[in-house]
Amino acid sequence: MKFYLLLIGCAFSVMNAKAQTTSAIKFENSLTWAQVKQKAKAENKFIFIDAYTTWCGPCKQMSREVFPVKQVGDFFNKHFISVAIQFDVNEKDDEHTKKWRNEAEQIKSLYRIAAYPTYLFLAADGELRHSIVGAIFNPEEFISKASEALDPKSNLQGRKTEFLDGNRSEAFLLSLINSANAARDPQLPEYVNAYLLSQDPNKRTEESFKVAALGTINLDDLAFKLIVDHPESATNALGKHQRADVLTPVIFDNEIFPLLRTNGKVKKNGAYTAGYEGEINQNVDWSALKRNLSKKYGELGAFLYTDARANYFMWTNDWPSFNQNMINYTENRKEMSLDYVLKMVGYLTVYTNDQASLLGSLAWAKVLETEKGNPFNKKMYSYLLYQAGKHAEAIALMEAYVNMKDVFDQNAVDNIPKMKKGEKIYL
């Protein structure tokens, strides 16, 4: 079970309400999903979905600074029936939010929402026409991006039709790939492969590898083979750890996972992995796996082996072995990825409350505090300290974090008094 946290790249704070003024975007928060679609059909408008979570800082900033702007409200109210949907669950959720939980889960699965904020633009029947992933704080730019949903030549559905009609120009394929990637469209690998096929294989550019990284889903993808067979060029274009991030899920699902579970099944959401099923293999030949990965994938093999063991130990709830595996990984600072360490801390805090296991993780997770990297790493380590019962150290680090230059994290500020009272906190 790979758990892809949506922590990195989104500042964390609490959203209490969507801003509403007479000039703002009018969110139809009192309607049901069926009523939203009926209203859009009756008024001959598209549907705009603001997909947010209560812990997403950029979501709140958009609600506070962009949605109330008059020209934004005028544009959206003219062309869209808008609805703001909360995609996380909290103890303080109101009755309306609770009533939307089932629809939120269905919408998340159907449209493959994987990051917040995500903005969806749908036809009245619910067909996805366009999407934007991530906040856009410039009102004019936000309107410009949203207007693409109204233009058949600019929105994803229109571009897909043009692809089927045979357009294979490089500029067009790049625009299609960008739209499909934002929508997590399952046909993305097809578009990426078409782009790579349109190029001279002897004249690959840095952009070729960056595009290939977007469409590496299966072992037989041209994009996957390109990144595997040209490690130096791919590393120069993507970065060493980024190359590993692209290849690891594909290799894990197809070559490693079958060895870790008997009669296992990879659950998919479109083209993307959503989970794993199957009986745990109690007799994994780890030595053979390590040799084979090293032989086939060179230097990447060591990381693939570490990641395989991390997942196996999570599945078996063997947290002492999980911690030792991560200690071994973090001992080699030159090969270590802080983003990977951050992800592993996330796994740990989600899947176990065992104090001994949490305390044992501090030995390897401390690199989040001591090594230079994203300031959020310090917040995550503070959270781990707090979960492990090290309240004084956790509070001191959280206070240091909020006082760092360029850190504006209201959620962290709000958590400090709760930590001092020993209350439960959320990231």
* pLDDT digits 0-9 by tens, 329-358: 999 999 999 999 999 999 999 899 999 999
* Amino acid occupying residue 161: T
Rounded percentage of the chain residues whose pLDDT exceeds 70: 95
Say whether pLDDT at 112 is over 90: no
Q: What is the pTM of this model?
A: 0.78
Least confident of 61-70, 182-191, 361-370: 182-191
Least confident of 123-137, 240-254, 313-327: 123-137
**Average confidence score pLDDT of the chain:** 90
Residue with token string 């294979």:
168
Residue with token string 């009018």:
26
pLDDT band at 5 (very low <50, low <70, confident <90, very high): very low
As a whole number, mean pLDDT of residues 231-246 equals: 95
Give DSSP secondary structure letters for 150-219: G-TTTSHHHHHHHHHTT---HHHHHHHHHHHHHTT-TTHHHHHHHHHHTS-TTS--HHHHHHHHHT--ST
pLDDT at 146: 92
Of 111 and 210, more confident = 210
Using CA atoms, how far residue 32 sits from 80, 93, 111, 131, in Å, is 16, 17, 18, 21
Least confident of 42-56, 240-254, 264-278, 384-398: 264-278
As a whole number, mean pLDDT of residues 240-262 equals: 96
As a whole number, mean pLDDT of residues 278-284 equals: 96
pLDDT at 309: 98
pLDDT at 133: 87
The helix-helix angle for 222-229 and 206-214 (nearest 10°) equals: 130
The CB-side HSE value for 316 (13 A sphere, CA atoms) comes to 19
pLDDT at 22: 52
Say whether pLDDT at 138 is over 80: yes
pLDDT at 378: 95
pLDDT at 224: 96
Using CA atoms, how far residue 396 sits from 204, 352, 360, 400, in Å, is 50, 24, 20, 6
Convert the pLDDT of each residue in 381-423 to its tens digit. 999 999 999 999 999 999 999 999 888 787 788 899 999 999 9
Convert the pLDDT of each residue in 185-224 to its tens digit. 888 999 999 999 999 998 999 999 999 999 888 898 999 9
pLDDT at 426: 79
Say whether pLDDT at 3 is over 80: no
User: Do 26 and 60 touch, CB atoms closer than 8 A?
Assistant: no
Say whether pLDDT at 267 is over 50: yes
pLDDT at 233: 96
Say whether pLDDT at 17 is over 80: no
Say whether pLDDT at 115 is over 90: no
* Amino acid occupying residue 194: A
DSSP state of 10: S
Adjacent-strand bridge partners of 280: 261
Which contiguous run of DSSP H or E holds residue 264? Answer: strand 261-269
Helices and strands in the chain, H and E counts: 23, 6
pLDDT band at 237 (very low <50, low <70, confident <90, very high): very high
Say whether pLDDT at 4 is over 70: no
| Fold adopted by 33-150 | Glutaredoxin (3.40.30)
User: Do 368 and 407 touch, CB atoms closer than 8 A?
Assistant: no
Of 241 and 19, more confident = 241
Number of Cβ atoms within 10 Å of the Cβ of 349 = 20
Using CA atoms, how far residue 174 sits from 135, 202, 211, 223, in Å, is 21, 20, 8, 14
